[in-house]
Structure 1
């Protein structure tokens, strides 16, 4: 039977405020709260002792900063909270986050308050979309600051002719990143011919069958990348070994997105690739 008179109010805590009881929350840097009395909403920028009391300073979206007594009287996502002094652990966490924000994915010091340069004449060529997307994710911020554009090659068989057409100079340099650059392969012979075209081109590579392998396998929960036998599509084989869909090119594209998504910074890439890309960037940005 339904209760026509509703819940017994005496069995509930009728003293609980409509928004719930206030919970203690550390006033960590960046925490966005609202002052109940004034409606001021902002992010915590610092907590300090002033006039014998703890004061939390909140910065609103216009960059204005206002101080409030630390303690009760704040809302966090609409729920009441009591702001407390951050612990040493949370302060260390905030400092680490600030340090991370000061670095790009490549580990370089992040340049702020400076627009990206207009593209220079220098270029870096890479083999295929996946190489370009990986370089963009890790080194994109650095390249924009330097005004260097990354362009895709559809294979390197004709790279010597392409270098001749580009006609690199001391002020308009060219760097080329090549997949599977291993001694004795056709890639090595092609690169040697192209490198003789001009002293203002530098061609470097990595030993991996595909740029996928330059991502450390641990990022995918692997001890090592699977070995795919000759005659089998390498990318489809890798996806099959990982237990991911691999029947179509759309599956390959989705698989690469998952792999690329596992890359957080340069530390997730193999040193061989890092060294080659960094050297190419240095070469094309020499002034």
Structure 2
């Protein structure tokens, strides 16, 4: 018998392989695990703590809830041993704000549109309202439509037939005493609210500093206001000027107070219970 045979395998009884480390798994809610000792299988539904350590609550398919100590390699996932760890507590994050300054609703799905509406004079008014209040409007289910000119208001109201649950809020440019705009928006009934700002055009309701100027230039009466503004500021065409104005606005802080107050009152009017 050779020496090797006489001594046999000197490594007999000793592992030749390193012990595989048991993975740690965070016990997130609804994670399904099996208690290795008892065979109880359930989903994580909570935790408890006592003088002798942390415990995990598992709920099985029949609704039975049991406590198990969070010990090393005490659980199985798909038949493999794991060590469950309690999730690390995180401080609640501060609520984020929308462009209008309201609390942003995360994971928002637009609400079904209300019967009530907000009407504005033109596409630029509608675009700025959407840019700042778009989140709020989707939360409340409010649709903003443009009139293509205030002269169309009377006809649109006749077609729409405002009433309970079908209110109309109207945002008007240059709403000052004695103006044509004021004359067109009086005596419209209890289901119509008209608010506005004193500026000639909604562009002017954007703070001058927002678009990089000290003040909006004066344009003589009778001259197209947007064309005159772009000419005096060197902005090119009104289309190019509008792009500059629109791209500069990010939040309510970029708008003048009269426009902010007017839009907020309209949103309140068309969303308050009747």
TM-score normalised by structure 1 residue count: 0.61
Aligned equivalents of 1:283 and 1:197: distance in 2? 15
Partner of 1:75: none
SS in 1 for 2:253: helix
Contact 1:123 1:149 in 2 (8 A): yes
Unaligned runs of 5+ in 2: 1-92
For 1:23-42, what aligned pairs fall within 5 Å after superposition?
none
Q: Displacement, 1:257?
A: 1.2
From 174, 187, 190, the equivalent of 1:199 is: 190
Deviations 1:136-190 (A, max 9, x none): 0000010011111000111112312321321112212110001111111111111
Partner of 2:206: 215
TM-score normalised by structure 2 residue count: 0.64
Aligned equivalents of 1:113 and 1:219: distance in 2? 30
CA RMSD in angstroms, aligned pairs only? 1.6
Aligned equivalents of 1:169 and 1:112: distance in 2? 33
Q: Answer yes or no: is 1:272 the counterpart of 2:258.
A: yes
Partner of 1:58: none
Contact 1:174 1:284 in 2 (8 A): yes
Aligned residues: 182
Unaligned runs of 5+ in 1: 1-97, 246-250
Aligned equivalents of 1:188 and 1:141: distance in 2? 30
Partner of 2:139: 145
For 1:47-196, what aligned pairs fall within 5 Å after superposition?
102-192=96-186, 196=187
Aligned equivalents of 1:185 and 1:139: distance in 2? 27
Q: Which has the larger radius of gyration?
A: 2
SS in 2 for 1:124: strand
Deviations 1:190-223 (A, max 9, x none): 111xxx2321110111111100000000112222
